[in-house]
């Protein structure tokens, strides 16, 4: 098994070097053709995906897990459209980012280049397979895809389509490998192999912690989150109701879905009275602190539990939300600072001063004022698709796409300059 994974990495590394010879036009043609291939083969993709879904259902996976796993006509069309849009976006490879001439006579150019070989480890999201290939290919990189076993059948079809299109354009098909149907030991070999230039994990806390503990290669951490929205005493509560309902229930299975609502004590009664029926209609389970529990109990909210401390450190990825009442704005800031994982955080307020203080004090990649946190993913930032949402600060932060999958070189030239 060890030899197999090393052979795969060696082949991918060699293929990555060949990508340097592709033109912008060739990369565009491959992505545009893949977009059409996905539409032509959507029934085949859905058939494979159904097998994965059925297998997960037999294992008793949750509805939110199944939602992340499922592809349908709508999501496949979205994937195809994203590929087409990406193919038409500006090329960023081999561009002169900065240039200067020094008194010594040397000319220095800062020029963009691919990272080289990227490995992406992810869970239960077959759409990541297409996104990951497209964005790494657009930026001139080879990629090793280690999806979870739960998407093995879907990935087999998707990667087969990718390789067919690559072969059509005489591009080395070793620039993409699918290791979804392999043991965890393969992942352990990937994250310690020095020939891989960058590792990107996409998944929950368990996966992220595993990578942090075991990886010995450069990593861009994405995914895991505990998302808060604070409703201030000055908030427009009708606006807050609309925003929070969207942030929690539009899609519960994404990393920027709302997990924790912090309510100023002066508006807790009125706001909970407004939102209770909305949450009940969506079958949202509320885990409330003592004050919020008392209010919701009087409102006869059915799916109600008393929160324990773990509930304020949990990324639910489900129809579950934790609610805490705070005395003031300062207490809300302190809570978020203690429990945030630096992903997406929001405040609902009419106070410009508080909004500015929130943006200054809260250390997260995406900060929102009077806005749903659901905007952090899904192409809403206009980046031409996303490889993930980085919660770290170096190299990439927040939603990032193909531009962040490049590095640069300093190219220095002269007419025989020597240093004194």
- Confidence check: pLDDT of 182 > 90: no
For the residues of 284-340, what is the DSSP string, one character each?
-EEEE-HHHHHHHHHTT-SSEEE--GGGGG----SSEEEEEEESSHHHHHHHHHHH-
The answer to which of 132-136, 188-192, 382-386 has the lowest mean pLDDT is 382-386
pLDDT tens digits, one per residue of 242-266? 999 999 999 998 899 999 999 999 9
- Confidence check: pLDDT of 153 > 80: yes
pLDDT tens digits, one per residue of 360-392? 999 999 999 999 999 998 678 888 678 888 988
What average pLDDT does this structure show over 132-155? 96
Beta bridge partners, 347, equal 230, 369
User: Residue 378's pLDDT is what?
Assistant: 65
- Confidence check: pLDDT of 172 > 50: yes
Side-chain half-sphere CA neighbours of 250 within 13 A: 18
User: Residue 301's pLDDT is what?
Assistant: 97
Run of H or E including 113: strand 107-114
Q: Are the C-beta atoms of 248 and 260 separated by less than 8 Å? A: no
pLDDT tens digits, one per residue of 314-354? 999 999 999 999 999 999 999 999 999 999 999 999 999 99
- Confidence check: pLDDT of 203 > 90: no
Two tokens, residue 155: 């990935």
Q: How is domain 2-222+387-413 classified at the architecture level of CATH?
A: 3-Layer(aba) Sandwich (3.40)
Two tokens, residue 391: 């919660």
Two tokens, residue 213: 């503990």
User: What is the band of 3 on the pLDDT scale with cuts at 50, 70, 90?
Assistant: low
Residues whose CB falls within 8 Å of the CB of residue 152, separated by 6 or more in sequence, listed in order: 52, 180, 181
C-alpha 95/C-alpha 358 separation (Å) is 37
User: Residue 289's pLDDT is what?
Assistant: 97
C-alpha 87/C-alpha 128 separation (Å) is 17
User: Residue 2's pLDDT is what?
Assistant: 46
> How many angstroms separate the Cα of 332 from the Cα of each of 311, 335, 343, 383?
16, 5, 17, 32
Average pLDDT, the chain: 94
Strand 285-288, strand 320-326: pairing? parallel
- Confidence check: pLDDT of 1 > 70: no
The superfamily CATH assigns to domain 228-376 is Aldehyde Dehydrogenase; Chain A, domain 2 (3.40.309.10)
- Confidence check: pLDDT of 282 > 60: yes
Secondary structure (3-state) at 176: strand
Domain residue limits, the chain: 2-222+387-413, 228-376
Beta bridge partners, 411, equal 109
pTM of this structure:
0.88
Q: How distant is the alpha carbon of residue 256 from its chain centre?
A: 9
Q: Are the C-beta atoms of 190 and 4 separated by less than 8 Å? A: no
């Amino acid at each position: 098994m060890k030899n197999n994974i090393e052979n795969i990495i060696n082949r991918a590394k060699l293929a990555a070097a060949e990508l340097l010879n592709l033109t912008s036009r060739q990369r565009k043609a491959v992505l545009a053709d893949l977009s059409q291939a996905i539409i032509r083969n959507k029934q085949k993709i859905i058939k494979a995906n159904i097998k994965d879904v059925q297998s997960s259902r037999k294992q008793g996976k949750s509805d939110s897990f199944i939602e992340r796993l499922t592809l349908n006509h709508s999501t496949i069309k979205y994937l195809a459209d994203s590929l087409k849009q990406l193919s038409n976006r500006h090329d960023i490879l081999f561009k002169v980012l900065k240039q200067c001439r020094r008194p010594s006579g040397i000319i220095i150019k800062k020029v963009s280049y691919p990272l080289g070989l990227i490995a992406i480890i992810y869970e239960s999201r077959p759409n990541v397979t297409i996104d990951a290939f497209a964005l790494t290919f657009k930026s001139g990189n080879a990629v090793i895809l280690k999806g979870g076993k739960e998407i093995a059948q879907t990935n087999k079809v998707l990667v087969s389509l990718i390789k067919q299109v690559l072969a059509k354009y005489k591009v080395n098909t070793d620039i993409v490998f699918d290791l979804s149907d392999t043991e965890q030991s393969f992942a352990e070999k990937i994250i310690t192999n020095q020939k891989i230039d960058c590792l990107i994990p996409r998944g929950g806390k368990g996966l992220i912690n595993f990578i942090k503990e075991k990886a010995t290669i450069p990593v861009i951490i994405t995914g895991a989150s505990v998302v808060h929205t604070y409703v201030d005493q000055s908030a427009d509560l009708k606006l807050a109701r609309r925003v929070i309902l969207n942030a929690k229930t539009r899609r519960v299975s994404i990393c920027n879905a709302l997990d924790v609502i912090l309510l100023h004590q002066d508006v807790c009664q009125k706001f909970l009275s407004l939102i209770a029926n909305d949450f009940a209609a969506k079958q949202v389970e509320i885990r409330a602190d003592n004050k919020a529990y008392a209010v919701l109990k009087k409102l006869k909210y059915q799916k109600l539990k008393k929160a324990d401390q773990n509930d304020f450190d949990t990324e639910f990825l489900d129809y579950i939300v934790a609610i805490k009442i705070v005395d003031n704005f300062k207490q809300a800031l302190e809570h978020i600072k203690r429990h945030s994982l630096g992903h997406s955080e929001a405040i609902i307020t009419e106070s410009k001063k508080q909004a500015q203080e929130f943006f200054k004090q809260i250390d997260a990649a995406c900060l929102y004022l009077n806005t749903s946190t659901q905007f952090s993913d899904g192409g809403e930032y206009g980046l031409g698709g996303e490889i993930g949402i980085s919660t770290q600060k170096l190299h990439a932060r927040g939603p990032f796409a193909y531009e962040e999958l490049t590095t640069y070189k300093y190219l220095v030239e002269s007419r025989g300059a020597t240093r004194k």
